[in-house]
Amino acid sequence: MIPVGRDAPDFTVPKAGGDAYNDIEPFTLSDAVGDGPIVLAFYPAAFTSGCTEEMCAFRDSMDAFDDLDASVYGVSVDLPFAQNVWIREEELNVPMLADWNHEVIHAYDVVLEDMYGMIEVAERSVFVLDTDGTVAYRWVRDGDNPDFAELVDEIESAVAGLRP
């Protein structure tokens, strides 16, 4: 697990924007660093109840993150085409990063090896990066899903704490 205080591993993956089925463009983390805090919200799978609840909690709090000049990205091993459909169905305002080759979940050491006893996905976790690309906050699910509204409030507070 990437600890607080360490530089976040860089990566390039497809980013699903949600405007259309094929609204996909490359996203490189190091290109986004410096524009403001970055929230990477890893989730196991689009269209599942817990992941939908989590991303809807972020959706409902995006004004607060925008006010903090923070960028929020969902990260999963889903294909970007599926992520685009999910974004549209749930009216999400959070771009999704498609780690379909599983490199990012391994780099951040957030691998859930046996979802449904058979597939490797992202472990539900959140990393907040400061404007230097250093991990300033980390949360990893332990046990049952949290109250997602409370979790998002905690993440918002972590981001607010990065302001000068």
**Model confidence, pTM:** 0.94
Q: Which domains does the chain have, with CATH numbers?
A: 12-160 (3.40.30.10)
- Six token digits for residue 36: 């403001």
Q: Which of 8, 16, 33, 51 is catalytic?
A: 51
**Sequence-ordered list of residues with C-beta below 8 angstroms from that of 110, at least 6 positions apart, any chain:** 1, 42, 122, 123, 125, 140
Instruction: Please list the pLDDT of the chain residue by residue as tens digits (164 residues).
Output: 789 999 999 999 999 999 998 999 999 999 999 989 999 999 999 998 888 989 999 999 999 999 999 999 999 999 999 999 999 999 999 999 999 999 999 999 999 787 656 678 999 999 999 999 999 999 998 878 777 888 889 999 999 998 76
- The reply to whether 51 belongs to the active site is yes
